[in-house]
Amino acid sequence: MITDRIEEIKAAVNEQLKKSNALQDVQDIRVKYLGKKGELTSLMKSLKDLSAEERPKVGQAVNSAREVIEGYLNTKTEELKAAVLAAKIESERIDITLPGRQPITGHEHPLHKIRREMEQAFLHMGFSIVEGPEIEDDYYNFQCLNFPDDHPARDMQDSMYITDKILLRTHTSPMQARTLQAHKPNEPVKVIVPGKVYRWDYDATHSPVFHQMEGLIVDEHIRFSDLKGMLEDFLREIFGPQTKVRFRASFFPFTEPSAEVDISCVMCGGEGCRVCSHTGWLEILGCGMVHPNVLRLNGYDPDKVNGFAFGMGVERIAMLKYGIDDLRLFYENDMRFLNQF
């Protein structure tokens, strides 16, 4: 009898589902009994062979069986999905009592860090920051700064020329000229100029590309003592209040008088060691009063205003502050070195 076969199919489906442990098993049972060629589908197709009286009753029994089997299949599917989700949640469970994991984050490059410290020190003194082109005209790089035509710095072996009159700037000093010319004659100026500069040098203490920071003040009644006091405050802020500072007479084409500035050795505190060649001092920067010719060349009257300028290498400051003996380490991207900062 067909009705007996229907009951057998229902029982078989229920028994097979109890043994199923995967969603694919459920899908295979669905196809076996309810698919186009499934056993229950075959019974439905056989209705045409029954008498007119039997056909409605058997058809109703087959449809009822289909609904019951669909219920079995759906229930089992939901159970297996819930089991899969529970297993996934368990495998991804986080013990909230464990200490948090510190994410790996980047940090400032030592050159950027020391440059920022230097800028902040000068900003606190009332300076403004200006920047200029790295590809410079000979007019601004040399002529406006009182460099004579035969000055050694103009030689091809020292400067990176692009054409006869265009070069990669050898210092940030061209912004002295550009800044003065951008202001009205004799107007006060108080700026620092950080940036890259380029020269034909490469060894443990020199690089063809390095960073400088230029400073310029022009106003009435500026004295060398103002320059001295300002630089002493700056250097002690960078290297510590115990730092000793001394000025030595020197020469630069764009300042008169000019001076080299030394600080007490950061390694031995001025006692004398290998780093400072047992002198107790380390050269740190150059400075001086703005040369009257520089003021005239850039539209200022040296009889009415004067000023001072200074310049220093950012790498030099960083090497002394952090005790680094090879400038090239800043540019080799060696994580063993960079992770120390």
Q: Is pLDDT above 80 for 114?
A: yes
Q: Is pLDDT above 70 for 1?
A: no
Q: For position 169, what pLDDT does the model report?
A: 93
- The two structure tokens encoding residue 124: 């606190």
> What is the rounded average pLDDT of the residues 68-74?
82
Shared domain check, 116 and 85: no
On whether residue 100 sits in a domain, the answer given is no
Name the DSSP class of 312. Answer: E
Q: Is pLDDT above 60 for 156?
A: no
On whether residue 105 sits in a domain, the answer given is no
Shared domain check, 121 and 77: no
Shared domain check, 326 and 207: yes
Q: For position 157, what pLDDT does the model report?
A: 55
What residues make up the domain containing 228?
110-338
Shared domain check, 229 and 186: yes
On whether residue 164 sits in a domain, the answer given is yes
Cis amide bond preceding 133, omega within 30: no
Name the DSSP class of 327. Answer: G
pLDDT band at residue 153 using 50, 70 and 90 as cut-offs: low
- The two structure tokens encoding residue 81: 């999905």
Question: Which of the listed residues 91, 122, 142 is the one where a domain comes to its end?
Answer: 91
Q: For position 269, what pLDDT does the model report?
A: 77
On whether residue 192 sits in a domain, the answer given is yes
250 or 1, which is more confident: 250
Shared domain check, 173 and 130: yes
Report strand pairing: 306-313 vs 281-290.
antiparallel
On whether residue 319 sits in a domain, the answer given is yes
Give the contacts of 55 (CB within 8 A, at least 6 positions apart). Answer: 47
The residue type at 330: F
Q: What digits encode the pLDDT tens for the residues 224-277?
A: 999 999 999 999 999 999 999 999 999 999 999 999 999 998 878 778 887 788
Q: What digits encode the pLDDT tens for the residues 6-61?
A: 777 777 777 787 888 888 887 887 887 777 777 767 767 776 666 767 777 767 77
Q: What is the DSSP string of 209-222?
A: EEEEEEEEEEETT-
156 or 302, which is more confident: 302
Domains identified in the chain, total number: 2
Q: Is pLDDT above 70 for 92?
A: yes
On whether residue 11 sits in a domain, the answer given is yes
Q: For position 19, what pLDDT does the model report?
A: 80
CATH code of the domain in which 43 resides: 1.20.58
